[in-house]
Amino acid sequence: MDTNKWIVDNDVDENESYPQIKEAAKLLKKGEVVAFPTETVYGLGGDATSDQAVDKIFLAKGRPSDNPLIVHIGYKEQLSSIVTHVPMKAEKLIEQFWPGPLTIILPKKAGLSEKVTAGLSTVAVRMPAHPVALALLKEVNLPIAAPSANLSGKPSPTLAKHVINDLEGRISGVVDGGPTGVGLESTVLDCTGEVPVILRPGGVTKEQIEEVVGAVEVDQALVDEKEAPKSPGMKYTHYAPDALLMIVEGSKSFLQAKIEEYQKEGKRVGVLTTMENQTFYQADVIKTCGTRANLVTVASQLYDTLRSFNECELDVILSESFPYDGVGQAIMNRLTKAAGHKIISE
């Protein structure tokens, strides 16, 4: 199929949709799938009430259909058509963080495709903070299921060209709204119990959530992330570049010694580091990903940096590790998955 491409400025006026937005919305209403920018990553959108549209999302991504999808809405009033009720803590978080990179899991109403929720009694919902996304969602006026717009297992897309590289010919269109902001997917928070539980760290940190609603738990699978995965589904890599990626925990000298070990085996070695450390290493390819002084810059550049290694014909990529607090938890969550849990410790 031909993949339409529309360029829309970030300052799109939500009240007066661009013709490109109207075109993209028309395709979504017809049950087609369209990629669009959010403030986290590009999403691959389809009508969340249509089994056929949701099937097209899974088919385009090559993603197993037993994974629930996040539903995106354009205004808060849409929530009442999707969920049975909103607990007080969820209300407070919506007030504080929507639109924004926080996905909230709530009890679902009938009407959504069962394939969106993988047969669960709950639904994950968010309202993105990207002007192009909001303009599109308001124009289409439907709940839109939208996982990241990449081939399953590849790094999530933070630029329209990443989407086109992965999905051209597999989807109906891409709305190009420029680079995304946060660069990592939203935080996913289960608000169906007494104490909210973080299932995926992201753009809103645990500390920020606790300031609003008090104690928050972290899913045990995240706590044990550095341990070898125990269930089969956890073994698969996500966000991975083409070359073997490993995280190195320890000093810069230890990482340099590892580079030299692999080079002696005749391997081409890449290093993922930050601006502070880039001149220290001697490797075949060195790529910087933001600065340690501000981990938000690492988060925003991570996927683009991982993808950029694919142009370098490497055998091995060694990545520095990052602190596990604040947005560092989300960075390490994605890096650990990209490395298939392969961590070398000093």
DSSP character at residue 271: E
Q: What percent of the chain has pLDDT over 70?
A: 95
Closest CA relative to residue 218, chosen from 227, 230, 231, 209: 209
On whether both 175 and 271 belong to a single domain, the answer is no
Question: What CATH number does residue 245 fall under?
Answer: 3.40.50.11030
Q: 56 and 31 in contact (C-beta within 8 Å)?
A: yes
Measuring CA to CA, which residue among 259, 240, 222, 234 is closest to residue 344? 259
Q: Which of 174, 189, 223 is the last residue of a domain?
A: 223
What pLDDT does residue 151 have? 94
Q: Which segments in the chain show pLDDT lower than 50?
A: 15, 228-235
Supply the pTM of this predicted model: 0.92
Number of structural domains, the chain?
2
Q: Which domain holds residue 246?
A: 232-345
* 215 and 237 both lie in a single domain: no
Give the single-character DSSP code of 128. Answer: -
Same domain, 96 and 218: yes
**Mean pLDDT for the chain overall:** 92
- Across the beta sheet with 217-218, the strand order is 4-7, 173-176, 34-37, 42-47, 144-145, 70-72, 122-126, 102-107, 187-190, 197-200, 217-218
- pLDDT for 14 equals 54
Q: Are residues 69 and 133 in the same domain?
A: yes
264 and 241 share a domain? yes
The pLDDT assigned to 222 comes to 79
36: left (phi over 0), alpha (psi -120 to 50) or beta: beta
Exposed e or buried b for every residue in 64-75, given b needs 16+ CB within 10 A?
eeeebbbbbbbe
What token pair was written down for 292? 């340690």
User: Is residue 238 domain-shared with residue 217, that is, in the same domain?
Assistant: no
Distance from C-alpha of 205 to C-alpha of 296, rounded to nearest angstrom: 11
